[in-house]
Structure formats: structure tokens, C-alpha cells
């Protein structure tokens, strides 16, 4: 099965074509206010590198967020348009889970992926919490936005080993390193970018379990926080 994966939740976007567990091509680029213009050519470049055509793609996988409102919306909308036009199944994957599966963690560990939320909130992050159970990650705390100090207070009482990963601002490091288990060292901090490869692998796993994709008409970005249009003008954005 050939999977085209699209990850556009932040400043650095990535794209991949994977066949089963094999990565045939991968591309990561910085996009700044020009993603909408560049997206078709970036996907074309990823397909060309893999030497496959869109018609050969079996499944489209897309990162749903949370992340940048505009970039996430562009990526999800484009993925849905491809699925409609090509009559291909589509699977949406949570960005935080894709970060969590990208890092090694011992069985029983709590894996806490993090992602900066808003430029105006230096000490606020999107985060979730997962527990490593064998080869799987069990959801403990769903996606949310939280102040770093509040997150640290929550994690301070954790009895399990901690693996904190994701895009970790340097200003967060001192606070995060205060999360100590009695008699043990600080949690493992693993800087990790969201990855289209991880999105593809998670989509492949779900397809193997269920044999079906998401309803293309219902798939939508995960925002967690209200958009600027909602917060300022009361305009609901889907």
C-alpha cells in the first residue's frame, strides 16, 4: 500500500510517500506565509522523488493538529480535496500522537508530547499524555492547551518515568527539569519535530486494524483553542 502523508501544522512542513514500513521519499521544508502557493509543487516533488504518481497512491494520511490554525487548515483541506478528486481513502492523525510515537520510551513510561500554542503565549503549550503499553500508546490525557507551570505541577506527582518530547522552547527547559521523581533524575527531554513519516506509519497501522479510512466529509482540523476569528469576532471556523 502506497501512502501519501501530509504534515503542515507548523512552520516546518513535511511530506512523505511510504509503502508499508518503507519510506520511499520524504521532504521537509520551512514555509512562511506561502504554504498555500507552494503545497502542490511540494507534493509533486515528494511523489517524483518516490517515482510514483498520484493515481498509484492507495491512501492519503494527514496531520490534524493541534498546531498553526492556518497551516493546519490548508493541509487538511488539500488532503481532503485529493481524496475527493482521486476517490482515495483518507485517514487523519493527531499531531501530538505522531510526535509521541516518534520517540523511544520504556514500557510503563508516560510520554508527553508538546507543541507551542500561540506566539503571544510564551509559556503555553499544546500537549497530551500517553502511556507506553508494550508496542502501543494508551491515551491518558487528550489534546489540550496548558500553561507550562500547570503542566509541571501535574507531572511532579507522576510515579512513572517521564519522556517529554516535541518542539520544546528553550524558555521551558528550566521549568520542565524541576519535574523530579524522588531519588531519580529529571525527565528525558527529546526535541522532536512533527513528521509526515510518523503520520504515514500511524495511518498504516489503523488501516491494518480497521480496513477503512475516515469519512472525508467529516474529517477536520483539531484546533483545541478558538481561532482568532472566533475569539475576536465570534465567527466559527471549521
Total number of domains constituting the chain: 2
Could you list the residue range(s) of the whole structural domain that residue 148 is in?
Answer: 104-191
- Where does the pLDDT of residue 183 fall: very low under 50, low under 70, confident under 90, or very high at 90 and above? very low
Per-residue pLDDT tens over the stretch 23-36: 999 999 998 789 99
Q: What CATH number is given to the structural domain containing 143? A: 3.30.420.40
Residue 37: phi and psi, rounded to 5, are -75, -40
What average pLDDT does the segment 151-165 reach?
Answer: 87
User: Would 211 be classed as within a structural domain?
Assistant: yes
What are the backbone dihedrals phi and psi of residue 83, each rounded to the nearest 5 degrees, phi first? -60, -45
Whether residue 116 is found in the same domain as residue 177: yes
pLDDT in tens, 2-25: 999 999 999 899 999 999 889 999
- Residue-wise pLDDT for 47-98, tens only, equals 999 999 999 999 999 999 999 999 999 999 999 999 999 999 999 999 999 9
| CA 210 to chain centroid | 21
Burial of 155 (0-12, 13-18, 19+ CB in 10 A): buried
Within a domain: residue 238? no
What pLDDT score was predicted for residue 160? 86
The pLDDT tens digits of the residues spanning 159-179 come to 888 899 999 999 998 888 776
- The four Cα atoms 69, 127, 165, 93 give a dihedral, to 10 degrees, of -60
Q: Domain for residue 207, yes or no?
A: yes
Mean pLDDT, all residues of the chain: 91
150 and 164 together in one domain: yes
pLDDT tens column, 84-112:
999 999 999 999 999 999 999 999 999 99
Amino acid at each position: 500500500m502506497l501512502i501519501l502523508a501530509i504534515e503542515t501544522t507548523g512552520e516546518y512542513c513535511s511530506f512523505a510517500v511510504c509503502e508499508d514500513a518503507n519510506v520511499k521519499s520524504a521532504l521537509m521544508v520551512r514555509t512562511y506565509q506561502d504554504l498555500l502557493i507552494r503545497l502542490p509543487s511540494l507534493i509533486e516533488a515528494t511523489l517524483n522523488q518516490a517515482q510514483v504518481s498520484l493515481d498509484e497512491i492507495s491512501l492519503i494520511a494527514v496531520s490534524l493538529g493541534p498546531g498553526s490554525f492556518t497551516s493546519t487548515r490548508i493541509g487538511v483541506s488539500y488532503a481532503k480535496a485529493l481524496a475527493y478528486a482521486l476517490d482515495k481513502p483518507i485517514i487523519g492523525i493527531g499531531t501530538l500522537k505522531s510526535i509521541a510515537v516518534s520517540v523511544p520510551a520504556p514500557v510503563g513510561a508516560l510520554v508527553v508530547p508538546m507543541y507551542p500554542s500561540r506566539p503571544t503565549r510564551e509559556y503555553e503549550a499544546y500537549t497530551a499524555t500517553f502511556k507506553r503499553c508494550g508496542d502501543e500508546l494508551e491515551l491518558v490525557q487528550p489534546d489540550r492547551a496548558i500553561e507550562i507551570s500547570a503542566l509541571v505541577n501535574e507531572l511532579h506527582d507522576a510515579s512513572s518515568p517521564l519522556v517529554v518530547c516535541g518542539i520544546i522552547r528553550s524558555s521551558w527547559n528550566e521549568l520542565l527539569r524541576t519535574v523530579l521523581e524522588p531519588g531519580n533524575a529529571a525527565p528525558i527531554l527529546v526535541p522532536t519535530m512533527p513528521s509526515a513519516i510518523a503520520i504515514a506509519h500511524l495511518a498504516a497501522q489503523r488501516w491494518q486494524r480497521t480496513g477503512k479510512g475516515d469519512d472525508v466529509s467529516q474529517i477536520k482540523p483539531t484546533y483545541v483553542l478558538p481561532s482568532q476569528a472566533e475569539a475576536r469576532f465570534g465567527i466559527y471556523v471549521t
